[in-house]
Amino acid sequence: MKSSITLLNKTYQFRDLKDILAKANEEKSGDQLAGIAANDAQERLAARHLLSELTLSDIRNNPVLPPEEDEVSRLIEESINEKIYQSIANWTVSELRETLLSDNTTNIEISRIRRGLTSEMAAAAAKIMSNLDLIQAASKIEVVTQCNYPIGHKGTLAGRAQPNHPTDSIQGIKASLYEALSYGIGDAVIGINPVIDTAESVKQILQMTREEIDRFQIPTQNCVLAHVTTQMRAIKNGAPSDLLFQSLTGTEAGNKAFGISIDLLNEANELIQKEGTSHGPNLWYFETGQGSELSSDAHHDIDQVTLESRCYGLAKKYKPFIVNTVVGFIGPEYLYNSKQVIRAGLEDHFMGKLQGIPMGVDVCYTNHMKADQNDMENLAILLGSAGVNFLIGVPMADDCMLNYQSTSFHDIASVRSVLGLRPAPYFEKWLEKLGIFENGRLTERAGDPTIFI
């Protein structure tokens, strides 16, 4: 593998593939904090040039984290289809980019290429793609999944209703849920982040959402985003859960810091297959986000884009119903400003879709980042154009429990309206029956949560 490049008489030398991958990234405060970012803009471009000329076999033959040392690496390595890999092993990263963007490459071809790719190859492609490249390539890919009801069809945009409450008040959660539904949001999932991580509390919230879904015959699925072990206890105690949730990282050590392993996920997977309330086949909800490995010192000097891509490689094993990157939640030491958040959102969505993941994005920021609601509205529109499967819906974008800002019910309705996107098909029919949606638009009745009381 080549590790140096000379651009107009100036030679840039890199240590190894890990070094090239890190330095090829767009500027991210997290890579700088890890001490692995390019030293200046020209070195960044030198790394990107060199990366574009490396072959896919170079990437596979130089693992950033050897399979012997890490179970996520092993899983990704074992999932490759060797015949398809052999057919593309000599492609350069540049050729991969150009193939993905070519008019002759459709969703079908990409589905085939995907089987020969590792997560590191997907990350490499993203690094040499511009923002509009990421949008264009992702927009070709359709990933339809089904829990109780299917989502992800081209031309649709679903929303997760995230009716969190600072003390898990059942009445309070219900109130925000009604508001969400009245704006046509909730087709991806009704998913609550609990304050209290106990099986009993999780069970109560799951029961309430199950009752509401039954009462109004809502074509959706429920989930409570507690730690997977808590959800497992709740399900064993009879809690009605359609989906299992868990946050993932891209390394074994990172997952250990999150209190999970592949063994544990396998055990949970068996449980949801046997005792979940949905027929599926897709019964998992995962969340990811650039920087989580570094935050638990489990990054092995690998850059945050590559690590994020590995999360999707891990997620794929469980055939998730939905996955979303919580793109700006982690703070300015990983993504400093709106430019970095927007870039990360587009990268994550593309890398996930390329690996066949039903990607959504929590377009969000914390108050100590250099970003505001305008930046989130921009990114929401960009992702809507890129064909994102779902966005997160929070009352007026202000999550009063998690203390960060995301996208609002109004925002999702607006992205649908501006880009001509529809809710998930069964959900749209339900909204029409209720009289809050007509001809692809909200009606006069929409926005009134009291219709659900």
Partner 1 sequence: MKEKQIELIVQKVMEQLQAKFPSENRVDPVDKGLIFTERDWETSIPKPAFQEGAADLTASTPARIGVWRTGTRPLTKTMLKLQFDHAAAIDAVGGEVLENYLQEFELFTVETCYENKEVYLKRPDKGRVLTDAAVQTIKERCQHRPQAQIVVSDGLSASAVETNLKDVYPALLDSLKLSNLTCGTPFFVKGGRVACMDHIGEILEPEVLVLLIGERPGLVSASSMSAYMCYRPRKGIVESDRNVISNIHPLGTPPVEAGAHIGTVLQKMLEQKTSGVKLEL
User: What residues make contact with partner 1 under the rule CB under 8 A?
Assistant: 29, 32-33, 163-166, 169, 171-176, 178-179, 183, 332-333, 336, 366-369, 372-373, 394-398, 400, 403, 405, 408, 410, 413-414, 416-417, 442, 445-451, 453
399 is annotated as contributing to ligand binding = no
| Token pair of 330 as six digits | 């982690």
Measured CA to CA in angstroms, residue 23 lies from 28, 192, 211, 267, 330 at distances of 10, 38, 51, 38, 21
Q: Which is nearer to partner 1, 160 or 310 (CB)?
A: 160
166 is annotated as contributing to ligand binding = no
- Give the SS3 label for residue 10: strand
User: At closest approach, how far in Å is the CB of 172 from partner 1?
Assistant: 4
Q: In the 8-state DSSP scheme, what is residue 25? A: S
User: At closest approach, how far in Å is the CB of 399 from partner 1?
Assistant: 8
332 is annotated as contributing to ligand binding = no
User: At closest approach, how far in Å is the CB of 453 from partner 1?
Assistant: 4
User: Which residue, 102, 7, 9, 97, is CA-closest to 49?
Assistant: 7
User: At closest approach, how far in Å is the CB of 149 from partner 1?
Assistant: 23
Q: Which is nearer to partner 1, 178 or 390 (CB)?
A: 178
Q: Which is nearer to partner 1, 342 or 446 (CB)?
A: 446
CA-to-CA distance for 105 and 107, rounded, in angstroms? 7
User: At closest approach, how far in Å is the CB of 186 from partner 1?
Assistant: 14
246 is annotated as contributing to ligand binding = yes
26 is annotated as contributing to ligand binding = no
CB-based contacts of 160, cutoff 8 Å, min separation 6: 185, 186, 188, 189, 190, 191, 322, 324, 360, 390, 391, 392, 393
362 is annotated as contributing to ligand binding = yes
User: At closest approach, how far in Å is the CB of 335 from partner 1?
Assistant: 10
Please, are residues 304 and 343 in contact by the beta-carbon 8 Å criterion? Answer: no
Q: Which is nearer to partner 1, 50 or 180 (CB)?
A: 180
CA-to-CA distance for 45 and 3, rounded, in angstroms? 14
162 is annotated as contributing to ligand binding = yes
401 is annotated as contributing to ligand binding = yes
Q: Which is nearer to partner 1, 336 or 427 (CB)?
A: 336
Q: Which is nearer to partner 1, 196 or 396 (CB)?
A: 396
List beta partners, residue 408. Answer: 394
CA-based angle 423:187:194, to the nearest 5? 145
Q: In the 8-state DSSP scheme, what is residue 244? A: E
| Token pair of 101 as six digits | 């963007």
Q: Enumerate the known binding-site residues for substrate.
A: 160-162, 193, 287, 362
Q: Enumerate the known binding-site residues.
A: 160-162, 193-194, 246, 287, 295, 362, 401
Q: Enumerate the known binding-site residues for adenosylcob(III)alamin.
A: 194, 246, 295, 401
